[in-house]
């Protein structure tokens, strides 16, 4: 359950690894705080953390069950933030989502991870290499995590952009393909990204502009930068959604045009085949008195007339673009 648990004093990590048994007894404050990372804890396991740090029961229930929308709530002076992580699997063209549930108090930060998440171990290493920034407290850790999660959306956008480009090329290629299923799948993934990104805009705006517990004014400017990145990614995702809608409409139009072209070709060949069919049907009625029955050149003359009429129709349809 515990990925890492460490205590920090003035931005420096204290020796050893903190445990849940003495988490509540350690003295904190005055630049000291605890950073606890958990992975998919059970209700029984997380109850120890809740008792040690005095977390609100409602937020604790959300942390165990997960599957929450991105949101920011305040419970008894403790911030509770939910956000979605994302990773793009290019071979399957799907976005894999994870979930982070973060509790931020005056002297602690608890990060609960569910599913595939961003590389938080790298965030911890980067912050530990910057004691001056880490000395700002748990809010600095929260910023570092948010910054990494939002930055990890950039490869997702790049992967989706590449696949949209391939779909566009397939739609407007001369090869008679119909990538409608691929378009719908990409559109579904883009909508999933929208559900993960859209609700996160408001919490980040609150973190960057409103006075909140455990968030010093000096850290707000950091959150503004993350908010700007998130807005750009959100706008890019909206552009991808609109582009996929346009590509889908263009594909349907191309399919309709190809069907019309096929119908014109079929109609042209049927029209040419109707002439000899009509003549042969007339002479196949077997009446005694019919014109040219006794004429020596009647048979080749009829064949020649049918060939001339068919050739004339062929040239006409060819000039009209039907064949």
How does pLDDT run across 75-125, given as a tens digit for each residue?
888 899 999 999 998 888 899 999 999 999 888 899 998 887 677 888 989
Burial class of 11 by CB neighbour count within 10 A (0 to 12, 13 to 18, 19+): middle
pLDDT at 233: 93
> How many angstroms separate the CA atoms of 247 and 239, rounded?
12
Q: Tokens standing for 186? A: 């990409």
Average model confidence (pLDDT) across the chain: 83
- In the chain, which stretches have pLDDT less than 50? none
Domains 2-253 and 255-320 share a fold: no
Note the pLDDT of residue 35. Answer: 87
Which pLDDT does position 220 carry in this prediction? 85
What CATH homologous superfamily does 2-253 map to? Answer: CorA soluble domain-like (3.30.460.20)
Q: What integer pLDDT is reported at residue 268 of this predicted model? A: 79
Q: How far from 159 is each of 87, 193, 205, 246, CA to CA, in Å?
A: 10, 13, 27, 19
pLDDT score recorded for residue 40: 85
> Rounded to two decimals, what is the model's pTM?
0.77
Looking at domain 255-320, its CATH architecture is Up-down Bundle (1.20)
- Contact call for residues 120 and 35 (beta carbons, < 8 A): no
Task: Identify the pLDDT of residue 228.
Answer: 92
Q: Where are the domains of the chain?
A: 2-253, 255-320
Tell me, what's the pLDDT at 229?
92
Bridge pairing between strands 108-114 and 32-39: parallel
pLDDT of 142 reads 93
């Amino acid at each position: 359950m515990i990925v890492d648990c460490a205590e920090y004093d003035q931005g420096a990590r204290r020796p050893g690894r903190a445990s849940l048994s003495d988490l509540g007894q350690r003295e904190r404050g005055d630049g000291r705080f605890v950073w606890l990372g958990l992975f998919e804890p059970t209700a029984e396991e997380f109850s120890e953390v809740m008792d040690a740090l005095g977390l609100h029961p409602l937020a604790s229930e959300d942390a165990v069950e997960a599957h929450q929308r991105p949101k920011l709530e305040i419970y008894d002076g403790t911030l509770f933030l939910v956000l979605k992580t994302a990773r793009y699997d290019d071979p399957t063209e799907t976005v894999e989502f994870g979930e982070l549930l973060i509790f931020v108090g005056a002297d602690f930060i608890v990060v609960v991870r569910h599913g595939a998440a961003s590389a938080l171990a790298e965030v911890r290493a980067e912050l530990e290499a910057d004691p001056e920034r880490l000395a700002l407290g748990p809010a600095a850790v929260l910023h570092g995590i948010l910054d990494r999660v939002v930055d990890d959306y950039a490869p997702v956008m790049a992967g989706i952009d590449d696949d949209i480009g391939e779909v566009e090329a397939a739609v407007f290629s001369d090869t008679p393909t119909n990538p409608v299923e691929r378009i719908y799948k990409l559109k579904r993934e883009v909508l999933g990204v929208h559900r993960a990104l859209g609700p996160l805009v408001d919490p980040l705006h609150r973190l960057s502009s409103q006075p909140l517990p455990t968030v010093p004014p000096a850290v707000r400017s950091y959150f503004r930068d993350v908010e700007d990145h998130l807005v750009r990614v959100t706008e890019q995702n909206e552009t991808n959604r609109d582009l996929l809608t346009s590509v889908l409409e263009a594909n349907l139009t191309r399919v309709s045009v190809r069907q019309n072209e096929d119908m014109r070709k079929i109609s042209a060949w049927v029209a040419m085949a109707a002439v000899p069919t009509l003549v042969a049907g007339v002479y196949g009625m077997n009446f005694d008195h019919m014109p040219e029955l006794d004429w020596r050149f009647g048979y080749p003359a009829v064949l020649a007339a049918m060939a001339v009429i068919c050739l004339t129709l062929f040239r006409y349809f060819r000039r009209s673009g039907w064949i």
